[in-house]
Structure 1
Amino acid sequence: MLVLLPPSEGKANSGAGVPLKLESLSLPGLTAAREAVLTELVELCAGDEEKAREVLGLSEGLRGEVAKNAGLPAAGARPAGEIYTGVLYDALGLATLDTAAKRRAARSLLVFSGLWGAVRVTDRIPSYRCSMGVKLPGLGALGAHWRAPMAEVLPEAARAGLVLDLRSAAYAAAWKPKGEVAGRTATVRVLHAPTRKVVSHFNKATKGRMVRALLTAGAAPKDPAELVAVLRDLGYVVEAEAPRKAGTAWSLDVLVEEIH
């Protein structure tokens, strides 16, 4: 099982660890694309601060993120699972998983990123600010920048198992499973059952708890149909829509009664 996650806007501080080594990150086929984004981002943020803030869409209160980006090559690096914070990652609680569940997380979780493309939770990265919606002056829209290298690398990472896609729309734009991989991909929405509307906060929290439950249970569904059965066994109310044509992902709605 490969679980595709969005990153978090908020991130923990890098700390004083060993600086980033691009060549040490998982999915080495993305190294050249990562280096291109990193080089331009650092150059942008080391130059005109106001321009950098505008390009990155940062408010006045986040001005300090520009300087943080400028210092990325020398910044300490920590496991991505410690860097990413926020509602989904708080609910996932990687640090409190048992040993076996942590091993499963290291194998199966893939976090998408405007800067790194995608990383595993064990990959060591510094704290940064660069969403997938950013358009860098030289490279252009990052979603488009990542499509070609992702199309080369991600099918291999998906292997022959289930792909559980929990990404938000901006990050889903960087890689869309196609063909045979799409047929074993399940995308998930979390809906407030009484209103059947998506509410951002509990949508993220529910996805985090759901991934935690799958990891803790040692679940290994091989396809979307098995995933539906596993989630129902774990107590989730799931409505599933099988694709009407080949090469299309399954759509799953997880219904939640209470917003918390």
Structure 2
Amino acid sequence: MLILLPPSETKRDGGDATPLDYSALSHPGLSKTRRALVRRVSQLARTPDEMMTRLKLGQKLAFEVERNRTLAKAPTMRAIDRYTGVLYEALDAPELDAAARAFLTAHVRIHSALFGLLGAGDPIPAYRLSHDSRLETPTVKATWADAVSKELLAHQHELVLDLRSEAYVALGPVPPAVPHAYFLRVVTTGPDGAQRALNHFNKKGKGELVRALAQHGRDFGTVEELIAWGAASGNRLSLSPSGELLLEV
């Protein structure tokens, strides 16, 4: 089973003194692209005003420019611990036990705008780059879309749960040749009985689901097995008529 997560705009400070090591990152086929994009971002950070404009940063976020300028020598931290924000707060990976964290390392990939697909245990520095950051050609989307999709082809025999936002899906769609991939949408049922997609609580629901999966520790082979586990564990999962996986909260 493969679980795809979006990144978070916010990152935790600090980490291990060991600097960025591309050979320590999952999906080595992306290394050349990663190196080139890190160089572009670091060079752009030498012109702070330009970087703040392109990344749409206000003065309160000026510290992000220095993060980008020092990418190559900054401390690193496991990706699953680096990201903060609603989804990652609900997941609360730092408080999971060793077995649950090992599950995350084996089964979770985080789709970074700077590094492409990252394993949960990959050591990365803090950085600032978003799916819609206004880089000159090639754009962030052009940089990653084909490369990430190609990497996902290696998972065509697995159950793939795509918990990314639609914006990050566009940065690397799961190819049609991966037949057991399901985009997850978080919904609620209103008083009228109609299901509606959620926004803010969508992230919280996704984080709580991944935490429950990590604590359970089972590598599900089919979506039917996953839905049956959900029914027994209080995670209300179902398939929509269009083939999306729905999580009702």
Question: Structure 2-normalised TM-score?
Answer: 0.92
Q: Is residue 184 of structure 1 aligned with residue 183 of structure 2?
A: no
| Deviation at residue 14 of structure 1 after TM alignment | 3.0
| Deviation at residue 242 of structure 1 after TM alignment | 5.7
| Deviation at residue 163 of structure 1 after TM alignment | 0.3
**Contact 2:8 / 2:83 at 8 angstroms: preserved in 1?**
yes
2:14 partner letter: S
**Contact 2:153 / 2:177 at 8 angstroms: preserved in 1?**
no
Deviations 1:214-250 (A, max 9, x none): 121123221222222222222122331365xxxxxx3
Q: Does 223-232 or 19-28 show the bigger shift? A: 223-232
1:154-233 matched pairs, under 5 angstroms: 154-156=152-154, 158=155, 160-181=157-178, 183-194=179-190, 196-233=195-232
Aligned mates of 2:171, 2:196 — CA distance in 1: 25
Match of 2:7 in 1: 7
Aligned mates of 1:174, 1:136 — CA distance in 2: 14
SS at match of 2:200: helix
Aligned mates of 2:67, 2:240 — CA distance in 1: 44
* 5+ long unaligned stretches in structure 1: 244-249
Aligned mates of 1:216, 1:102 — CA distance in 2: 9
Match of 2:124 in 1: 125
2:189 partner letter: A
Match of 1:46 in 2: 46
1:100 partner letter: A
1:169 partner letter: E
Deviations 1:46-104 (A, max 9, x none): 12x11111111112211121121111111111111121111111111212222222111
Aligned mates of 1:94, 1:213 — CA distance in 2: 11
1:148 partner letter: D
| Deviation at residue 28 of structure 1 after TM alignment | 0.2
Match of 1:246 in 2: none
1:25-40 matched pairs, under 5 angstroms: 25-40=25-40
Deviations 1:5-32 (A, max 9, x none): 0011110013452110122211000001
Aligned mates of 1:166, 1:42 — CA distance in 2: 29
Deviations 1:106-128 (A, max 9, x none): 10010001100011111110000
1:33-182 matched pairs, under 5 angstroms: 33-47=33-47, 49-140=48-139, 142-156=140-154, 158=155, 160-181=157-178
Aligned mates of 1:38, 1:97 — CA distance in 2: 31
Aligned mates of 2:97, 2:67 — CA distance in 1: 33
1:215 partner letter: A
Aligned mates of 1:17, 1:201 — CA distance in 2: 34
Percent identical residues: 34
- Give aligned pairs, total: 246
1:118 partner letter: L
Aligned mates of 1:103, 1:16 — CA distance in 2: 19
Match of 1:251 in 2: 244
Say what the alpha-carbon RMSD is for the aligned residues. 1.7
**Contact 2:43 / 2:69 at 8 angstroms: preserved in 1?**
yes
Aligned mates of 1:144, 1:99 — CA distance in 2: 37
* 5+ long unaligned stretches in structure 2: none
1:30 partner letter: L
**Contact 1:20 / 1:77 at 8 angstroms: preserved in 2?**
yes
**Contact 1:81 / 1:122 at 8 angstroms: preserved in 2?**
yes
Question: Structure 1-normalised TM-score?
Answer: 0.89
